[in-house]
Amino acid sequence: MKNKIVIGTAILLVGVLLGGVSFYILGELTGVKRAHAPIVAPNVPKQILETSRAFSEIAASISPAVVNISTTKVMRRDANPLFDDPFFDFFNPFREFRTPKKWKEQSLGSGVIVSQDGYIITNNHVIEQADEVRVTLLDKRSFKARVIGADSKTDVAVVKIDAKDLPTVSWGDSDKLQVGEFVLAIGNPFGLSHTVTMGIISAVGRANVGIADYEDFIQTDAAINPGNSGGPLVNIRGQLIGINTAIFSRSGGYQGIGFAVPANMVRLVMEQLEQKGRVTRGWLGVTIQELTPEISQKFGLNNGKGALVGDVAKGSPAEKAGIRRGDVILEFNGKKVKDVGNLRNMVAQSKVGSEVSIAILRGNKEYSFKVLIAELPKEIAEASPGNAPEESPYEGLAGVSVMELTAEGAKQLGLRRDERGVVIVRVEPGSSAEEAGLRKGDVIQEIDRKKVEKLADYNRIISAIRPGDTILLFLNRGGKKFYVTLRTS
């Protein structure tokens, strides 16, 4: 009985297998295809579709105002004078050595049209020292451009082409930007015309980047590459909020950090370049420095906001208004001062001859001054320190050797002969003084807000300082005056 069941089961399985194979072969021979389940389209939310369409419309409206800028520079290399010697005629009777070597260097960048009659903004480094500048529009028309003006301190330049009724981009207010806003960068990276990339504003007010003298950069993660320089950064309204300037990269390509000059700064520079061919900047006549936590503590500040006045130039607007060394500037013309870079930019962008209000903290009290802005002098002399006098040094602060500053010593250090203090003649390597930034040739003129005019003053003040105290030093380094904190050991 069991054998019959096993045999029956085996026959059944073989039948099923043969049936499946037969069905497959028959289907292949007759062309009958097996049915597949239909692919269902994804249900894309309406908001995403509208956002995608909006970005496309922004790119389409802005691209005609974005141009390709190509520059040509003729490079020359004169022949070696040695080859002019008649002796070389023996080897080369045609005197090819006398022929100057000459070649052309070409570079590419971007720009954006801001007026219908052909004014275009780009970067200074795009057109710098170029012998010829050419502008190519989206419709492939090409024009020779002339440089209206350039400002290396902000890396902004203005060029113009002879054309009319050109497409333009509208200006946005870069002071109202918020971190996290969507932005588009448009330009010609690697010569790839009118490339559009998208990102967000990563940060605003970036300074101390080392790209330009006056920095207030917008940071973005929209892809920016070589060739994007001078192109526009626009918001979701299609307004110009910045001019793409540089990237932070270890490879030379995009790594998620790009910088743009804010539109408000660009507009001020452009207006002056158009009107005067140069940029004039406001001047207060103060040396300012950042408020570190240690310096803030010494001045009784809690939030570290503002800029510390390290020195006031004689005859400057600040001196005439009553601002003193040691004051902390809190507000400039009604705007809070965030840091040194922020104040420096606000002063520079102030109209020469205008009156501004400045709020300062002096001691524990706030004061307000009216200051008449002057023009930044073309050349502000910066005395370079000479060699510090090498005489019997006095050991006071650990790691620092000093001697009294004489009139002759002041002259050697590039200082006025009437300057007073003690000059550092040695800083011990690895000491806390070296870590704090003290150098040989620095002149100590104050310790904890107490004047140091002679070595006796220095000795008296230092004798009251205990190990582990943090002291505030006021230094004069070749005419530059500033504060430094030092923790004694």
CB 328 within 8 A of CB 291: yes
The answer to whether 155 is a known ligand-binding residue is: yes
The answer to whether 228 is a known ligand-binding residue is: yes
Q: Which one of 70, 110, 151, 155 is the catalytic residue?
A: 155
Choose among 151, 153, 143: nearest CA to 119: 143
The answer to whether 441 is a known ligand-binding residue is: no
The answer to whether 36 is a known ligand-binding residue is: no
CB 227 within 8 A of CB 247: no
The answer to whether 125 is a known ligand-binding residue is: yes
Q: How far is CA 282 from CA 11, 197, 261, 316, 341, in A?
A: 102, 36, 19, 12, 14
36 is catalytic: no
155 is catalytic: yes
Q: Which one of 70, 174, 202, 229 is the catalytic residue?
A: 229
Q: Which one of 125, 174, 216, 221 is the catalytic residue?
A: 125
229 is catalytic: yes
Question: Catalytic amino acids?
Answer: 125, 155, 229
Known binding residues for substrate: 125, 155, 227-229
Known binding residues: 125, 155, 227-229
